[in-house]
Structure 1
Amino acid sequence: MEDGGQMMTVRDYEQTHLYALYQPPNSAEADESTVVLDSWGDGPAVLLRDSHWAESYGTSTHVIERFDKPDATDALARTNAFRAEIENPQTALHANARELETAFLANPAPGDIFSAMPVIAPHLAESTRRRLQECSPRTRNVLAADAARDAYGLDDAQANSPRTTKAILKEAKRLDALGRPPLSW
């Protein structure tokens, strides 16, 4: 997390769901650079505008907490300490957590079982899939190389490893196959 950036926990009341948003420094909430981080979702971190949550953000949602970098660092330390206590078999908290885990995981109520939602908006996934199917393998390699340069902050003149490009294409194919029609390369 960058200095000046902000993490937010967002609750969507219509979907009964929580997710996190990262707002980079010097950006307004829900602008072009805000990123959704959804640990319950199926898919990668994605820009809010390209996410499943883009339409409902701000209408059926509420930001329930915000962290700047110092607050996030403190919250992470407290979370790690709490997790260590839960995982320590010599604590009462560990015993209580095991009882709760057993009760909830043994016989979950049908209404308490949810499948993972795709993080990426379905219309974006479908339009991307169609556009990539129209591309030649060479064009897909160029797109993956550009994505790698963007991800690593390299300028256009800097080359990246063909292995990186191949890995991006392989991972994109794997992610696309998760519960959606596969994309044939």
Structure 2
Amino acid sequence: MGICWSKSSVSSRHPTSATEAPSRASTASGSDSSSPMQSPELSSLRVSLGTRPKALRRGGDTTLEQHQIQQAAYHMGAYVVGDEVTSPKRLATAGQTVHDVRLLLKHGRGNVKADDIPSYGHNGIGSSVAKMATGGGSSKVARAVVMGAAVCDQQAPLTAMVHAPHMAANEQSVTFEARVPMKEIKDEGNEIPVRTKHTWNELQRISRDPTSTVVMDAWANGPAVRLKDSAWNAEPATKGAWSMDKSRAELLKERIEGLVPLIHPDHDSVTAANLRCRRNAPVSWEKYAESQVISAEFANSVRNALSCVPAPQQREIASRMIQEAYGTDPGSHAHQDAVESVLVAANHLDSLTRPAVVPPEY
């Protein structure tokens, strides 16, 4: 899960996943013509993004991770307000992709204040280097993966590409943009309510139906959610630059996987020069507070509904949501622990956390 590196006859480098990538060719077929030529040494370096369908963790006594707890808590919230999620495994898989993208971009978001200190400032540096990439959108997305940092307009298409193996034949991944309410954080620490442009990815079945469309927003906090329950549903949105069916998403994913080894600063002089430039003269990003993908209105309605549900029934509902999404054994200790965690998260759907930002290796 995340990014896996492997190289023929040598050890892996810089993994962010405990799972080794399957041995397969990963070329830059169809990539931008400005991409550097692949040397024989680099041709044996392979990268795999995201979680393979067969590697999805379901069943048994598996301990649920934070993002899975949040996903099940959202499903519980929808259930108690009388609008049950009808395809829990689909949303759980989308939630896994959102989590994978956050792990890929583990050094943070350039325009989020909370990521500055834990990344030692690399959130802004890496995001700037990604923006400097030439040769089209694919190059910028690949640069974001190499840097481990990005803002929303690279995170959204990356999410679509990473999700490619899990897409159904009738699904489309589409990026959307809107001016949404956020809190800008000034240098002196004051938070100012503003509206600013934001980009996210949506997984659609033919049309932008509020119930079947899934918002996958790795930049914001929270799980994969139905459009109707998202913080962005009320905003007038327009289609962004990216729209892809399964085959197109798979092609772009392969392209990114081929580009990543080639444009690593250890091998590409342009990336290395851009990185030195931004370390010496960092870009001054406008900084925002963390945003939540689940709307405050939905979260409030869930809290109100839960206050009327007896505790034993709440546990039964939480248990059912976990089983439907992840198939864990209800008799296991891991499942019972997950029930308690889901109950807590269900009351805080508009204040969810995300994986901790980590500093770069340099």
Q: TM-score, normalised by structure 2?
A: 0.41
Unaligned runs of 5+ in 1: none
Unaligned runs of 5+ in 2: 1-166, 181-195, 353-362
Q: Is the 8 A contact 1:21 1:34 kept in 2?
A: yes
Counterparts in 2 of 1:23 and 1:168: CA distance versus 1, 3 Å: farther
Q: Is the 8 A contact 2:265 2:272 kept in 1?
A: no
Q: Is the 8 A contact 1:13 1:61 kept in 2?
A: no
For 1:16, what is the secondary structure of its paired residue?
strand
Is 1:16 the counterpart of 2:200? The answer is no
Q: CA deviation at 1:133?
A: 3.0
Q: What is the match of residue 3 of structure 1? A: 169
Letter in 1 for 2:198: H
Cα deviation per residue 1:56-106 (whole Å; 9 max; x = unaligned)? Answer: 1xx2422422111111111112222333233351211330342365267x4
For 1:19, what is the secondary structure of its paired residue?
strand
Counterparts in 2 of 1:87 and 1:137: CA distance versus 1, 3 Å: farther
Cα distance between partner residues in 2 of 1:175 and 1:99? 44
Q: What is the match of residue 307 of structure 2? A: 133
Cα distance between partner residues in 2 of 1:178 and 1:123? 10
Letter in 1 for 2:177: R
Is 1:76 the counterpart of 2:247? The answer is no
Counterparts in 2 of 1:108 and 1:47: CA distance versus 1, 3 Å: same
Tell me how many residue pairs correspond in the alignment.
170
Superposed, which structure 2 residues align to 1:1-185 within 5 Å? 1-13=167-179, 15-24=196-205, 27-56=206-235, 59-99=236-276, 101-102=278-279, 106=282, 108-109=284-285, 112-152=286-326, 160-161=330-331, 163-164=334-335, 166-171=337-342, 173-174=344-345, 177=348, 180=351
- Quick one: higher RCO (CA 8 Å, sep 6+), 1 or 2? 2
Q: What is the match of residue 8 of structure 2? A: none
Q: Which runs of 4+ in 1 moved over 2 A?
A: 59-64, 80-88, 99-104, 106-109, 133-137, 158-166, 171-181
**Sequence identity percentage:** 22
